[in-house]
């Protein structure tokens, strides 16, 4: 069946029957099954990676999907998880074989992480006793300004430059948010992870407490950190 599914169309179907003489399963049903399995992967990738698809073009996209299907068979009952290894596939094989720009695999990883944060099974507590990081938070470090690129509709090419991207699911709206980490966001996260108070940070850094509180308030409003 692996060989059959990897070879779409009538040729794969006839080869399957030739290798199993006497097998009487209706050809129409087996052909439908083959189309059904391939469609799960193809449809999942289209929904998970719309930006990558738009950047590489339709012809290249179809070749990538076909190649990914033959090298990454469906192994998970949750259909969206069929795209989990697509970024690695692009980084390990497709970029060299297809001549894709180096930033395309990272864009795919960004899109997958966006979905993974949205679908995270981490429980976000309704109340906390102290400032805490959002448990759905994911971090990506790459060599392009992908946050601005994605926010701008992924047109053209991203600008080069080291970036730490933060992606998380908002605890109230349940939508995924993302940003290029800045000093205020990293400060709020450091305080949440280490249990620091504005007064302690101010004493250690010389920064006015008002500025520190503003960074925390922004983080709480964005859902990046959770406050009592």
Q: Provide the phi-psi class of 133: left if phi over 0, else alpha when psi is between -120 and 50, else beta.
A: beta
3-state secondary structure at position 136: coil
Structure tokens at 161: 């430059």
* pLDDT over threshold 90, residue 13: no
Question: What would the two tokens of residue 126 be?
Answer: 């309704």
Question: Across the chain, what does the average pLDDT equal?
Answer: 90
Range of the domain at 32: 1-100
Kindly state the average pLDDT of the residues 206-226. Answer: 94
Using the 3D structure, point to which of 65, 100, 135 is the last residue of a domain: 100
% residues pLDDT > 70 (the chain)? 94
- Token output for 205: 């850094």
Q: Read off the DSSP letter of residue 91.
A: I
pLDDT value at residue 186: 96
Q: Both 179 and 107 in a single domain?
A: yes
Tell me the pairing of strands 138-144 and 225-226.
unpaired
- β-pairing verdict for 132-133 and 138-144: unpaired
Number of structural domains, the chain?
2
2 neighbors 73 (Cβ within 8 angstroms) = yes
User: 87 near 50, Cβ under 8 Å?
Assistant: no
3-state secondary structure of 175: coil
Same domain for 34 and 142, yes or no, is no
Final residue in a domain of this structure, among 100, 129, 149 = 100
Last-in-domain residue among 81, 100, 119 = 100
Mean pLDDT of 26-53: 88
Q: Contact, 219 vs 209, CB < 8 A?
A: no
- Whether residues 51 and 135 share a domain: the answer is no
Is the separation of the CB atoms in 104 and 52 below 8 Å?
yes
> Can you tell me the mean pLDDT for 169-187?
96
pLDDT category at 73 given cuts 50, 70, 90 is: low
Query: In the predicted model, what is the mean pLDDT of residues 143-154?
Result: 96
Mark residue 145 as left, alpha or beta (left: phi above 0; alpha: psi -120 to 50; beta: remaining).
beta
pTM for the predicted model, two decimal places: 0.85
Enter the tokens of residue 90: 């692009």
What confidence category does residue 33 fall into, taking pLDDT thresholds of 50, 70 and 90? confident
Q: What is the pLDDT of residues 79-125, one digit of tens each?
A: 888 899 999 999 987 666 668 899 999 999 999 999 999 999 999 99
**Does 70 score more than 90 pLDDT?**
no
**Residue 39 structure tokens:** 């469609």
Are residues 48 and 132 both part of a single domain? no
Query: Is the pLDDT at 161 greater than 90, yes or no?
Result: yes
């Amino acid at each position: 069946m692996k060989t059959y599914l990897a070879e779409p169309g009538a040729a794969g179907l006839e080869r399957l029957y030739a290798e199993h003489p006497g097998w009487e399963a209706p050809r129409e049903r087996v052909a439908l099954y083959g189309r059904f399995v391939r469609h799960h992967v193809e449809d999942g990738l289209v929904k998970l990676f719309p930006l990558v698809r738009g950047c590489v073009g339709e012809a290249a996209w179809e070749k990538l999907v076909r190649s990914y299907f033959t090298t990454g068979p469906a192994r998970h009952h949750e259909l969206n998880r069929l795209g989990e290894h697509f970024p690695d596939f692009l980084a390990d094989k497709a970029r060299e074989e297809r001549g894709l720009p180096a930033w395309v695999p990272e864009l795919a990883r960004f899109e997958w992480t966006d979905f993974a944060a949205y679908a995270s099974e981490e429980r976000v507590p309704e109340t906390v006793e102290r400032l805490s990081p959002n448990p759905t938070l994911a971090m990506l470090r790459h060599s392009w300004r992908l946050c601005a690129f994605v926010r701008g509709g992924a047109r053209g090419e991203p600008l080069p430059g080291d970036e730490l991207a933060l992606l998380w699911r908002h605890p109230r709206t349940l939508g995924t948010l993302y940003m290029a980490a800045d000093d205020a966001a990293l400060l709020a996260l450091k305080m949440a992870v280490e249990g620091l108070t504005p007064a302690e940070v101010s004493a250690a850094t010389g920064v006015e407490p008002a500025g520190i509180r503003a960074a925390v308030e922004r983080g709480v409003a964005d859902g990046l950190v959770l406050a009592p």
